[in-house]
C-alpha cells in the first residue's frame, strides 16, 4: 500500500529508530516500495527537520547508510546512563586500532614491527569489540592473517568510509618513526596515482 510523502517520512524515521545498523537508501526504498531517489529526498527532509527543530539527535550518514545519532553536546548526560564501550580500551589497543585503520590490510607481525611490542592481547580485544576483523590471508610464508576495520569501527567514529579518516601528519610521524613515515608516504602516493 503506497504511502503519502509525510507517512513515508514517518515510516523512515520509525525504521531508523528500530534499526541497530545504519540503513541504506536502497534498503529503505525496498521496504517502503519507493524509489531510492524518493527516499534520498525524504532523508534530506528528515535531516533538515532535526536541525531546524534542534532535537537531541540528528540524522547522520555513516558506514554506508543512515542512522539517528545523539548530538555531541548531550554526551555528558548520555555517558551517565550508558558507559562508552571504548572507554575501557587500553592505550595499546587504541594504538593498535589506529595502525590497523590506517595500514589495513595488515598482519599481526607488521603491527608488532610498527609498535615495537607484541600485540596479541590488543588484537583479541579489538576483535572481541568487533572494531576489527580477519580479512583473509597474505600471500607469502606461513600465509599470515590480515586484519582490517569493520562497519562497527566506522559507526563508532562516525565515518562514512575509511576515506573520512583524518590525514596523517607525515612530519610528526617522521620524528616518531622515520621508516613508517616513508612507507605511509609511499602508500599514499600509490593511492593517488
Q: Give the tens place of pLDDT for each residue, 48-104.
A: 998 898 889 999 998 889 999 999 899 888 888 876 655 678 888 989 999 999 999
Residues 6+ apart with CB under 8 A from 38: 8, 29
190-123-118 Cα angle (round to 5): 90
Same domain? 111 vs 145: yes
Same domain? 49 vs 108: no
Same domain? 133 vs 63: no
Q: How far is CA 62 from CA 18, 88, 99, 156, in A?
A: 16, 23, 21, 9
168 — pLDDT class (breaks 50, 70, 90): confident
Same domain? 89 vs 161: yes
Q: Is residue 138 part of a domain?
A: yes
Domain count for the chain: 2
Same domain? 90 vs 154: yes
For cell 525504521, what's the residue? 15
- Judged against a pLDDT cut of 90, whether residue 29 lies above it is answered with yes
- Judged against a pLDDT cut of 50, whether residue 192 lies above it is answered with no
Model confidence, pTM: 0.57
Amino acid at each position: 500500500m503506497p504511502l503519502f510523502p509525510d507517512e513515508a517520512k514517518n515510516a523512515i524515521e520509525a525504521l531508523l529508530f528500530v534499526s541497530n545498523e545504519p540503513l541504506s537508501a536502497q534498503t529503505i526504498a525496498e521496504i517502503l516500495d519507493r524509489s531510492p531517489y524518493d527516499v534520498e529526498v525524504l532523508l534530506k527532509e528528515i535531516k533538515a527537520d532535526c536541525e531546524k527543530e534542534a532535537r537531541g539527535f540528528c540524522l547522520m550518514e555513516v558506514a554506508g547508510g543512515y542512522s539517528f545519532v545523539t548530538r555531541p553536546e548531550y554526551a555528558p548526560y548520555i555517558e551517565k546512563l550508558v558507559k562508552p564501550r571504548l572507554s575501557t580500551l587500553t592505550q595499546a589497543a587504541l594504538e593498535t586500532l589506529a595502525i590497523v585503520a590506517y595500514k589495513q590490510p595488515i598482519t599481526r607481525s607488521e603491527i608488532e614491527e610498527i609498535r615495537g611490542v607484541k600485540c596479541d592481547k590488543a588484537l583479541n580485544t579489538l576483535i572481541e569489540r568487533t572494531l576489527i576483523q580477519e580479512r583473509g590471508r597474505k600471500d607469502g610464508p606461513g600465509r599470515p592473517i590480515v586484519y582490517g576495520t569493520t562497519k562497527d569501527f566506522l559507526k563508532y567514529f562516525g565515518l562514512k568510509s575509511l576515506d573520512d579518516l583524518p590525514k596523517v601528519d607525515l612530519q610528526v610521524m617522521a620524528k616518531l618513526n622515520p621508516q613508517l613515515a616513508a612507507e605511509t608516504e609511499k602508500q599514499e602516493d600509490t593511492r593517488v596515482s
